[in-house]
Amino acid sequence: MDPTPVPVSVVSTRKTLAIQANGSVGGYLQHNLIGSGHQGPEMMTRIIMSLKSGIQEEIEWALTSLSQISCTSPSLVNFEKTPYLAHELIGYFIKPFQMMLEKKDSIITQGEMSLSLDSLLSLRNLAQDLVNQQYLSQLKTLKKHLIEVLKIFVHWFYVGDVRSHHLTRFHNQFREGLNYLIDLLEPLSCYYVDNTKNDPLFNQLLFASLHTKDKYLLINIMRILSHLLFIKDTTTKPTEGDNNNNDDEKQQEELEEELSKTPNNCIDAIEEVHLENIVFFLLIADNELSVATLEFLKQYLSSEALHPSYPTSVKDSQAYRLKKLLQIKSSRAIYQTLIKELPILMVSNLSLNDPSKIPDMPPLSLTKRSQYISVPTVLPSLSKQLYDIIVKFPEPLRATTWLRCCYEPFSKANEANVISDSSDVIPGEVTQISLWKAYEKQFEEVWQTSKTQANPEWPPLLPAVDFIKNVNSAFPNSEAMVVNLNPESMEQQPKKKFIIKGIQPRQFVVNIDIGNYEALRQKPTPNSDSTLNADSKILPIGHIDIDKFQHNLNNISDALLAHSSRLRKDSKEVTPINLISHDLLDYIISEVLDNTESDELQDLFRLYNSHWLPDLIYSNPSLIENGLVNSKWLKYLL
């Protein structure tokens, strides 16, 4: 029979103590265990101790905790008081990328890359604090490492060269890391001033701006580029404390001053292809992208960095860059984009009056305004140029054209405004004989030459009977009539007078088009004639109802001003897009249009804006009143 284990009964101290929870032993264990009631070290002390321990699990916990604190309570971390944390974060962030530079791609682990991203995220969040970003900006090694990592990311995403197959597993983490890196550079770049033309950070970002399709990245890249264009303020005077500097510092300052005399600023690394790419972002309807683009353009044009061609003149350097930006000497593509988009952005998202809904100007109530108010006694003659044209017309076209150029239609609406100075001349009628004689006299050369040697280019005159019949064709509202004149005595028979009713001689000859138009246009009825005041028959010549006109005009002006008077530059409605667009447009107009004799540049500005901007200004006068539009621009629009 096989042996089997036999249970042995023993006394369990743990069980006994648990049973005696209310006894003296239980109370002793509860209150006197080592560390009982002690909260332990503070969170930041615990993190520092974990980083110093060298234990991988502790390090991972510390870096993960730091990334959480940087998001929730960034004020707990102060790099000036705990520089150890800053250097540790930088060290773990750069570790896998240093291995890439050393061609050790194959031994990089997923854990090392995760710790690198946690460290970069912590740096990115903590750099939003002013104290921390000032501290980090002074670390030259950090800028060097940031440039190295940026080169790796730019090469990976935008160069398209052969990639290491060992790193393809980190593609998504590289994408995340690039976003963190750009976010970290944005506040730090404010402190990187006087960058040279060959500055690697500036040039890498310029290259990335040409190739990235990520809106978030693009906006931050343009902000960083704007920051990197900053230069030192040379007008700042030294304080008393500066006089205590030692000789080495003075020599260093003198050396920097000497180097600054040779223009070598990163602003001149920007080529036309970069400017075109950036300016064309204004064509995208996105406010964030527009603000970033406008801020970059403003910084580019206002920079006081000297150009190598103008080493002693800030103004000439700025003028050179303005012409370069606008491509004045080449395609002018950027110029056309800016003068088209800046006025639109200048008034975008503002509550303005719609020009199409503004009432028209009040109609004028006028009578005929002319010093020639009587019927002329002498018929005007054709000018030589007009005569040479009409004389070659075939009949009856020649007679019709001559009649319309030298005579005008007459209606009852004109009767009150015409005064006859002669009893022989009656407004609105001419005698048939005088009409024929005037026609015969005008073309005397035609019938005189026909007796000797006819000119083949001059058709013969229309016979008198046919000429009189043709008057009604020339003036459809005219009528040939026979009137009886009152006899001088009762014994005499009344004489007959053959007249044409409905026409009268003109004061001046008109051209053929005007004559045809006036002869054939439809006459308004007395009830529908809105151009004449109802009391026009008793009004003096040239009368204007000033009070009525001014009253209507004031009503329209008051309505416009009442709606738009709230719009001011300092109002919340006015955004940086409106203000920066105004500043850029004003600068371009004052420096280019006001100082050039080229009509082409002015015509381009008028082409893109004359069809809408004057109407908008008329509908919203507060745009000029509050300085959102410069009144001097109107001379290029009208």
pLDDT of residue 336: 96
Tokens in use for 589? 């107009």
pLDDT (0 to 100) of residue 575: 94
* pLDDT at residue number 360: 66
Per-residue pLDDT, 362: 60
Contacts of residue 122, Cβ cutoff 8 Å, sequence gap at least 6: 63, 66, 67, 69, 70, 89
Instruction: Specify the pLDDT at position 257.
Output: 59
Residue 532's pLDDT is 41
| Omega before residue 396 within 30° of 0, cis | yes
User: Structure tokens of 338?
Assistant: 């800016």
In Å, how far are 6, 242, 364, 421, 522 from 537, measured between CA atoms?
141, 90, 16, 18, 22
Q: Supply the pLDDT for residue 8.
A: 54
CA 43 to centroid of chain Cα atoms: 52
Which two structure tokens, joined as six digits, stand for 280? 């064309």
Three-class SS of residue 571? Answer: coil
| pLDDT of amino acid 262 | 72
pLDDT of residue 638: 84
Give every residue of the chain whose pLDDT is below 70, as ranges. 1-32, 35-37, 234-261, 359-374, 412-425, 450-454, 489, 522-545, 559-566
User: pLDDT at position 375, please?
Assistant: 73
Distance (Å, rounded) from C-alpha 471 to C-alpha 257?
A: 94
CB-count burial class (<10 Å; 0-12, 13-18, 19+) for 85? buried
Q: How far is CA 512 from CA 384, 387, 468, in A?
A: 14, 11, 20
Query: Which pLDDT belongs to residue 531?
Result: 44
What is the enclosing helix (H) or strand (E) of 310? none
Neighbours of 182 (CB within 10 A): 25
What per-residue confidence (pLDDT) applies to 354?
A: 86
The answer to whether residues 395 and 467 touch, using CB atoms and an 8 Å cutoff, is no
CA dihedral 530, 533, 536, 537 (to 10 degrees): 60
pLDDT of residue 219: 97
Q: Which of 193, 107, 184 is nearest to 142 (CA)?
A: 184
